[in-house]
Amino acid sequence: MTLANERPLPEGDEKRRAVRSMFDRVAGRYDLVNRVMTFGMDVGWRRRAVRELRLPGRALVLDLACGTGDLCAELERAGYRPVGFDFSHGMLAAATATAPLVEADVLRLPLRDGVAEGVTCGFALRNVVDLRAFFDELARVVRAGGRIALLDASEPENRVMRAGHGVYFRRVVPRIGGLLSDGAAYAYLPRSMAYLPVPRELLRMLEDAGFPDAERLPLSAGIAQLLVGTRG
Ligand SMILES: C[S@@+](CC[C@H](N)C(=O)[O-])C[C@H]1O[C@@H](n2cnc3c(N)ncnc32)[C@H](O)[C@@H]1O
């Protein structure tokens, strides 16, 4: 199974297998490609996500779909106690973070209800096979009053910006990915935006899951988005 450009986007178990093997393949150069294709802006987006948690020092924060652990490192720098979860063995093996990292599916976390004070998640909403089930799992593991901060890519609202961003994302990013890493994987990246519900729907899903004050913060003129909320 590949995620090459011309094939229809996979769903269900096929998507799960394809996403996992894709991240296993790109793991070694994942951080480098991120820095290059976002001009380093991804670092600032992760910092903002951690800032928006606004939890007490030493709070236990789960970083779901942690990949190589960049958010875990930011959480540690901010004085939290992060634990990362990801199902790609390759991504976890490439991690340099010192936080504990667990190989697990974020749709079925090996954790008891209400164990965490916070959750972060970076750039993985498009990758899970069932976003509602993911939000329900967040609501299960975060205690009342706990906070979530979820980052993902987005499309700018401004028409001119959106057109320019579309060209960059669809034409330039796959080339950068092809040069530095795996072309098919980075051609999938812009296509995977089709999995992401529109902002209004994302917020409704979070409210329904148990985060009544969910809000969306556009970042860098809307090329990224941060969804934050408090567990009701
Ligand atoms: C784009 S990477 C993001 C990594 C990291 N959060 C970051 O900010 O760079 C997406 C990650 O989601 C993970 N992932 C996707 N679906 C998952 C699932 N159901 N369970 C665990 N990890 C998952 C992939 O293995 C991959 O490491």
Per-residue pLDDT of 61-92, as tens digits, reads 999 999 999 999 999 999 999 999 999 999 99
Cα-to-centroid distance, 165 and ligand 1 (Å): 23
Name the residue of 23, 121, 189 whose CB sits within 8 Å of the most ligand 1 atoms, as the mutation to test its pocket: 23
**Residue 2 confidence (pLDDT):** 44
Residue-wise pLDDT tens digits, 6-21: 678 999 999 999 999 9
Nearest-CA residue for ligand 1 atom 27 is 67
Ligand 1 atom closest to the CA of 30, numbered from 1: 9
Mutate to test the pocket of ligand 1, among 26, 87, 151 (most ligand atoms within 8 A of CB): 87
3-class secondary structure per residue, the chain: CCCCCCCCCCCHHHHHHHHHHHHHHHHHHHHHHHHHHCCCHHHHHHHHHHHCCCCCCCCEEEEECCCCCHHHHHHHHCCCEEEEEECCHHHHHCCCCCCCEEECCCCCCCCCCCCEEEEEEECCCCCCCCHHHHHHHHHHHEEEEEEEEEEEECCCCCHHHHHHHHHHHHHHHHHHHHHHCCHHHHHHHHHHHHHCCCHHHHHHHHHHHCCCCCEEEEEHHHCEEEEEEECC
Ligand 1 centroid–CA 66 distance in Å is 6
Ligand 1 pocket (Cβ < 6 Å) reads 19-20, 23, 65-67, 70-71, 86-88, 91, 105-107, 122-124, 127-128
What pTM did the predictor assign? 0.94
**Each residue's pLDDT tens digit, 39-67:** 999 999 999 999 999 999 999 999 999 99
**Protein residue whose Cα sits closest to atom 25 of ligand 1:** 88
